[in-house]
Amino acid sequence: MDEQSKTLLFFDERRFLEDVATRNPIEVFKNALEAANLHFNARFHEGEQTATLIHERAIFMDTILRHAWNRFSWSKNICLLAVGGYGRGELHPQSDIDIMILIRWGNPRRHQKNIEGFLTFLWDIQLKIGHSVRTMSQCVAEAKGDITVATNLMETRTIAGNESLRQLMTKKTGPKKIWSDKAFFRAKLLEQKERHEKHGNTEYNLEPNVKEAPGGLRDIQMINWVAKRHFNVESIDQLIGKEFLNAEEFLQLKRGEAFLWKVRYGLHLLADRPEERLMFDYQRKLAAMFGYHDSEERLGVEKFMQHYYQVVLSMREMNDVMLQYLDEVILRKDKAKNIYALNERFQVRDKHIETVGDYVFAKYPSALLEIFCLLGENENIVGIRAATIRQIRQHRKLIDDSFRHEPQNKKLFLRLLRCPHRMSTQLQRMTRYGILGRYLPEFGRIIGQTQHDMFHRYPVDAHTLQLIKNMRVLERPEMAERYPLCSHIYKNLPKPELVFVAGLYHDIAKGRGGDHSALGAHDAEEFCRRHGYSAEETRLISWLVAHHLIMSNTSQRADISDPDIIYKFARLMGNQLHLDYLFVLTVADITATNPTLWNTWKASLMRQLYSETKRALQRGLENPFDRDAWVESTKQAALDTLAELGITQPQAIEIWGNVDDEFFLREKADDIATYTAAIAARGDSNDPVILIQNAGVEIPIATQIFIHTKGMDNVFPTTAAALDHLQLNIMDARLHRDTEGHTFDTFYVLDENNQPFGDNTEMLEKTQRTLSHALKNPDPSAFNLNRRTPRHLKQLAMRTVASISNDIEKSATILEVITPDRPGLLAHLGRIFVRFELRLLSAKIATLGERVEDVFYLVNMDYSPLSNAEFCEELRDTICKELDARNEEDVEGETLPRMRLWR
């Protein structure tokens, strides 16, 4: 028994060998493996250090493999090696056991019988083996051509056989023979670059890969590989105290690695397979496993993920520092130095900024901010030298209250916000190197802070910095094509810096409990006061933070064709300056929250709200629009167009009947004329009129579907079911009905790729046929409303929230429903409305990632708002129970988490 085996106190090796000799060996080996798994997993749940477990698991596997190997007769010219992570002595519960059978020379076929017997035995005992059989010369040849093979061969251990073979192989594949320091480093840098690109070059993915994503375990291994090869050491702890690595940095690496190992170990246990992705359902389970509990302010899973993101952010920082150092000593060691001074504290060396000495930050603490200003003011400086990053990290503790109140430092921070080049990049650097969170402690509290949903794509700090970047790039010509109105407004803002400050603070109070907009406005006001902004500028910034959600909410959830809505919104704006600043902030906020959710429809709503509000402000708040005049103007314009088509005024008025005025407020006169002409052309037929076309002036914003029926019930649920069956997403539903039961319904829809489809003849014909058949045979259950729910939607199930209130001005009841997005949702709600004998006047549909926030305007059969409190409560309870029942089916009986409504 070797020394390593003695550490396995749970494993009686002597008894194991006795059992192998007297019983069925396969069963004995399998029982030992099963018992070991149970033992290690129990210790993990009891809180044992993961590092101890994965190293002991590797030692145990060495013992198992060695005894399996010894069942066969081998010569001194062959040995069994552990490679890869197993070669490093690390073995997670579901990781493959990577081994290599190394042969000194000759034809491997002479060992074929034993090798096949050995591998078959390993498969029989149900080990997940990754194996290769190579001669010494094959190792050299394959390592020369493949950097991955060369890297794996660096990390080998001898499990059984002649250790001198491994040492010879390591020598033959070392940097003096193949893959020189420079070649190896360049290849690994390219490999890391490509790997990071696959994960969006961010530590902040919604479902991050613990192993491969930026800041993950592979980044730590990258440091080890390059450093060990360059310095010719077995482990980087041999480099502590040298220029490459200090004790504090080594401890930081080991702490980060230990946390990621723990997460990976837990993932493997939960998935029962070698899962490396932190998928949403695993995030919740790991948070509970590791003791992160829900509080009033935040969910336990959000606390866990904030810790995770902070760790990978620090590992990415370490990766940056170490690789930049190695870049200097390996790739640029012998290159001519291009050095020039910036000032008495900083100089540029080969396009990288550095301090002029080791004590610059200690002597001039303000230089901790100044360096980022210089980066933003000098376009040709591409980064910070590794030694200077290390100095920043060592001296960042100097940023305390006295530092923050120093006038010079306040001026430097404002100078940074005015930098002409890559200002948002400098803020990102400051975050990664721990400067921004120290200068603004309120920002430090949101670093890595997440919301457990699909709507908020990034943690709060990353979202905030992306928002500022989105505003900055509006200066570029290509942005004028993508965001024409927003780009124009931004370029004409009198002081763009003010909206940057508002952006920095708009979400800064998330996770504290209470209204984060109001709390953030207070923080923004304090920032402005400390930094010397005028009273007027302070009020504007604080107002922007307090109201940063109002424009998005109004455009997506209110009837912005209603003059009264526009007037109220204009009164809130007060003047054009507030409207312009808020528009820029809102567009940048939406696209930074989740760029995949920005589409032509949402852009059109924002443009419409901005334009109508601007008109109201120009008209004067003392002169609100006259609703009656607006209605009469629309009617007359439609009648003029119809007259040109040969349809008289009496004919048109007869077709319109007594349809509500909302129809003429919400629809354009040209559209009304088109609808009316089509209804007239139908004559006395009872067939529905269905018109489908793209909506939009120059660029289609959605596909418009108009439906007119005579005396039909269930039009909305039937239509919703048919559109869902076609995988079309309803963006807006404008529903109108006269007292004769004639419907004048207009739907705005997008296809499954969030695009209009009015130019797709095949899809148009299919939609026309499907709707026509459905309306002639109004049975929503005929459609398959149980389409498979996407995995990510299942994992983020939450309880439905429904609220009911009355709108006196509209004489309608407002129902707001917030629930997970599911196929057939609108059709299901429509059927509930039918059961409760309700008329649906209109609906505003807002899909926010994995959930919807829909608003419905309802009346009873007499066109009156719902006044019976018990009836309203029954309606609300029915909606919540039935929608939650659908969701519970999706998550296979798991308890649904409570809804936390940050916005």
Check residue 7 and give its pLDDT.
66
* Across 266-272, average pLDDT: 95
**How many residues are there in the chain?**
903
Half-sphere exposure of 632 (CA within 13 A, CB side): 5
- pLDDT of 598: 77
Could you read off the pLDDT of 477-508 as tens digits, one per residue?
A: 888 888 889 999 999 999 999 999 999 999 99
- Residue 442: how many CA atoms within 13 Å on its side-chain side? 20
Cβ atoms within 10 Å, residue 183: 14
Measured CA to CA, the distance from residue 609 to residue 492 in angstroms comes to 19
Task: Select from 77, 59, 68 the least CA-distant residue to 6.
Answer: 59
The secondary structure of residue 506, as a DSSP letter, is T
Banded model confidence at residue 512, pLDDT cuts 50, 70, 90: confident
Please check the confidence at residue 414 and state whether its pLDDT lies above 70.
yes
H-only helix segments in 657-690: 662-666, 669-682
**Residue 106 burial (CB count, 10 A):** 13
Structure token digits, residue 827: 């059709």
Q: Which of 561, 589, 619 is the last residue of a domain?
A: 619
Q: What's the pLDDT score for residue 157?
A: 94
874-900 burial string, b = 16+ CB within 10 Å, else e? ebbeebbeebbebbeebbeeeeebeeb
For the stretch 524-582, pLDDT in tens is 999 999 999 999 999 999 999 999 999 999 998 888 888 889 999 999 999 999 999 99
φ and ψ of 871, to 5 deg: -60, -45
Do residues 275 and 94 touch, judged by C-beta distance below 8 A?
A: yes
Residues 383 and 292 in one domain: no
Q: Which of 37-41, 252-256, 319-323, 786-790 has the least mean pLDDT?
A: 786-790
Note whether 322 and 363 are same-domain residues: no
Residue from 168, 206, 181 nearest 81 by CA: 168
- The number of CA neighbours under 13 Å toward the Cβ of 56 is 20
Tell me the C-alpha distance between 118 and 495, whole Å: 74
Most confident of 328-342, 452-466, 825-839, 846-860: 825-839
Q: Any idea what the Cα angle at residue 91 is, between residues 85 and 94, rounded to 5°?
A: 110
Query: Is residue 407 included in any domain, yes or no?
Result: yes
What CATH number does residue 370 fall under?
A: 1.10.110.30
Above 60 in pLDDT, residue 111? yes
Q: Which of the pair, 397 or 712, is modelled with greater confidence?
A: 397
Q: Return all residues near 401 (Cβ < 8 A) that are at least 6 apart.
A: none
Residue span of the structural domain in which 367 resides: 336-439
Determine contact, residues 898/798, Cβ cutoff 8 Å: yes
Q: 191 and 320: one domain? A: yes
Q: What is the pLDDT of residue 893?
A: 44
Query: Do 18 and 164 belong to one domain?
Result: yes
Pairing outcome for strands 838-844 and 851-860: antiparallel
CA distance 566 to 538: 26
Does residue 487 share a domain with residue 387?
A: no
pLDDT tier, 796 (very low <50, low <70, confident <90, very high otherwise): low
Q: Across the chain, which distance is largest between two alpha carbons, in Å?
A: 106
- The backbone torsions φ and ψ at residue 276, rounded to the nearest 5 degrees and listed phi first, read -115, -10
* Residues whose CB falls within 8 Å of the CB of residue 781, separated by 6 or more in sequence, listed in order: none
Distance of CA 364 to the CA centre of its chain: 39
Looking at per-residue pLDDT, the higher value among 740 and 642 belongs to 642
Could you tell me what percent of the chain has a pLDDT over 70? 93
Least confident of 265-274, 563-572, 666-675, 733-742: 733-742
- Residue 795 has a pLDDT of 52
Q: How do beta strands 157-161 and 78-82 pair?
A: antiparallel
Q: In sequence order, what are the residues at sequence separation of 6 or more whose Cβ sits closer than 8 angstroms to the Cβ of residue 768?
A: 690, 692
- Interacting residues of 714 by C-beta distance below 8 A, sequence separation 6+: 778, 780, 830, 831, 834
Residue 872 has pLDDT above 90, yes or no: yes
Split at pLDDT 50, 70, 90, the class of 895 is very low
> In angstroms, rounded to a whole number, what is the distance separating the alpha carbons of residues 154 and 151?
5
Show the CA angle centred on residue 259, arms to residues 257 and 260, nearest 5°. 65
Question: Can you tell me the distance from the alpha carbon of 236 to that of 246, in angstroms, rounded to the nearest whole number?
Answer: 11
What pLDDT is stored for residue 454 in this prediction? 52
**In a domain? residue 562:** yes
* Model pLDDT for residues 419-435, shown as the tens digit of each residue: 999 999 999 999 989 99
Last-in-domain residue among 179, 196, 218: 179
Paired strand residues for 730: 749
Residue 653 lies in a domain: no
671 in a structural domain: no
How far out from the chain centre does Cα 273 lie?
Answer: 24
Over 280-331, what HEC string results?
Answer: HHHHHHHHHHCCCCCCCCCCHHHHHHHHHHHHHHHHHHHHHHHHHHHHHHHH
| C-alpha closest to that of 471 among 308, 628, 375, 589 | 589
Return the structure tokens found at 857.
């305007």
147: domain CATH number?
A: 3.30.460.10
pLDDT at residue number 677: 95
Res. 794: pLDDT tops 80:
no
Q: Is residue 273 part of a domain?
A: yes
Over the stretch 679-700, which tens digit does the pLDDT of each residue have?
999 888 889 999 999 987 667 8
φ, ψ of residue 213 in degrees (nearest 5) = -70, 160
Indicate whether 902 pLDDT > 50.
no
Give the CA dihedral 260, 465, 398, 327, nearest 10 degrees. Answer: 60
Q: What is the mean pLDDT of the chain?
A: 89
Query: Which of these, 426, 478, 448, 175, lies nearest to 313 by C-alpha position?
Result: 448
Phi then psi dihedrals of residue 512, to 5 deg: -90, -15
Of 99, 92, 86, nearest in space to 130 by CA: 99
For residue 793, pLDDT over 60 is answered with no
Residues 24 and 140 in one domain: yes
Pair (195, 285) in one structural domain: yes
Task: Report residue 98: phi and psi, to 5°.
Answer: -85, 120
pLDDT value of residue 900: 44
Band (pLDDT 50/70/90 cuts) for residue 1 is very low
Contact 523, 508 (CB under 8 A): yes
Local structure of residue 674 (DSSP, 8 states) = H
Phi-psi domain of 316 (left: phi exceeds 0; alpha: psi -120 through 50; beta: other):
alpha
Look up tokens 């949903």; give the residue: 453
- Asked whether 93 and 265 are in contact (CB, 8 A), the reply is yes
Would 357 be classed as within a structural domain? yes
Average of per-residue pLDDT across 451-465: 76
d(CA 592, CA 595): 6
Q: Is the pLDDT of residue 789 over 60?
A: no
**Mean pLDDT value across residues 315-332:** 87
Of 565, 590, 619, which one is at a domain's C-terminal end?
619
Query: Closest Cα to residue 222, out of 252, 189, 263?
Result: 189
Which pairing describes strands 729-734 and 743-750: parallel, antiparallel, or unpaired? antiparallel
Distance between CA atoms of 270 and 288, rounded to whole angstroms? 12
Q: Are residues 587 and 600 in the same domain?
A: yes
Contact 487, 603 (CB under 8 A): no
CA distance 315 to 218: 10
pLDDT digits (tens, 9 = 90+) for 609-652: 999 999 999 988 887 778 888 899 999 999 999 999 999 999 99
DSSP string over 450-504 = --SSSS--S-HHHHHHHHHHHHHGGGSHHHHHHSHHHHHHHHT-S-THHHHHHHH
* pTM score: 0.82
Angle (CA) 495-499-503 rounded to 5° is: 160
Q: What is the number of structural domains in the chain? A: 4
**pLDDT > 90: what percent of the chain?**
61
The sheet with strand 383-384 has its strands ordered as: 339-341, 346-349, 352-355, 383-384
Residue 21 domain-assigned (yes or no): yes
Write phi, then psi, for 500 (nearest 5 degrees): -65, -45
**Claim to verify: residue 241 and residue 173 sit in the same structural domain:** no
Same domain, 139 and 197: no
Give me the pLDDT at residue 5, please: 46
pLDDT single digits (tens) 765-786: 999 999 999 998 876 555 555 5
28 and 173 fall within a common domain:
yes
**Is the residue at 243 inside a domain?**
yes
Q: CA geometry: angle at 383 spanning 382 and 386, to 5°? A: 150
- 233: domain CATH number is 1.20.120.330
Question: For residues 257 and 602, what is the distance between their CA atoms, to the nearest angstrom?
Answer: 43
In the block, residue with structure tokens 């709060």: 460
Same domain, 321 and 360: no
Please give the Cα distance from 65 to 82 (Å, whole number): 10
Six-digit token string for 384: 């910070």
Phi/psi of residue 707, each to 5°? Answer: -130, 125
Q: Residues 245-267: what's their mean pLDDT?
A: 94
pLDDT at 143 over 80: yes
Cβ atoms of 439 and 372 closer than 8 Å: no
* pLDDT greater at residue 780 or residue 731: 731
The residue-averaged pLDDT of 77-99 equals 94
Reference 466, options 589, 381, 584; nearest CA is 589
